[in-house]
Amino acid sequence: MIKLNWILKKFEALTPYELYDIMWLRNEVFVVEQNCVYQDADYKDLKGWHYMGVNEEGKLMAYVRLLPPGVSYEEPSIGRVLTNPAARGTGVGRVLMQQAIEQCKALFGDVPIKIGAQYYLQQFYSSLGFVQTSAIYLEDDIEHIEMIRNIEN
């Protein structure tokens, strides 16, 4: 497992360099790697918390956006989940999600958490206590499902 420094910040507390790193990595993964042209900057970033895993050299290796209830869904949500390609296969993604769940609880209370997950990751999210709550739908030509993690999970 690679050693990361974990940082949680509201949008307005992000430095320009942190914001640039976040947007660069999100574009690298969601636009370039997944060959999906879409508008990543959706104004929800302004209302959210940004959880970053940074390595000893200061490089962003893992990231997730935590949104309060009423922004994407009625429930708080976790989204824009990604790991730097250089960190894949190290277990960082699981650690990121486990910590994101704990951060959501600390920020928003012990309430259900909702995600819009890429369908191919259903088993991964299920292993973290999320349950599928919708049929498969296309979002930017990628199969997605909605999932909820209830309080007792």
* CATH code of the domain containing 18: 3.40.630.30
Give me the pLDDT at residue 153, please: 56
Q: How far is CA 113 from the centre of its chain?
A: 12
Q: How many CA atoms lie within 13 A of 53 on its CB side?
A: 25
Give me the pLDDT at residue 36, please: 80
Give me the pLDDT at residue 139, please: 87
Give me the pLDDT at residue 141, please: 84
CB-CB contact of 69 with 108 (8 Å): yes
Provide the residue range defining the domain that includes 102: 5-149
Question: Does the pTM exceed 0.75?
Answer: yes
Q: Which two tokens stand for residue 153?
A: 């999970």
- Taking the C-alpha atoms of residue 141 and residue 124, their distance in angstroms, rounded to an integer, is 21
Query: What is the domain count for the chain?
Result: 1
pLDDT tens for the 153 residues of the chain, in order: 789 999 999 999 999 999 999 999 999 998 888 888 788 889 999 999 999 999 999 999 999 999 999 999 999 999 999 999 999 999 999 999 999 999 999 999 999 999 999 999 999 999 999 999 999 999 888 899 999 999 765
Q: Burial level of 70, CB count in 10 A (0-12/13-18/19+)? A: exposed
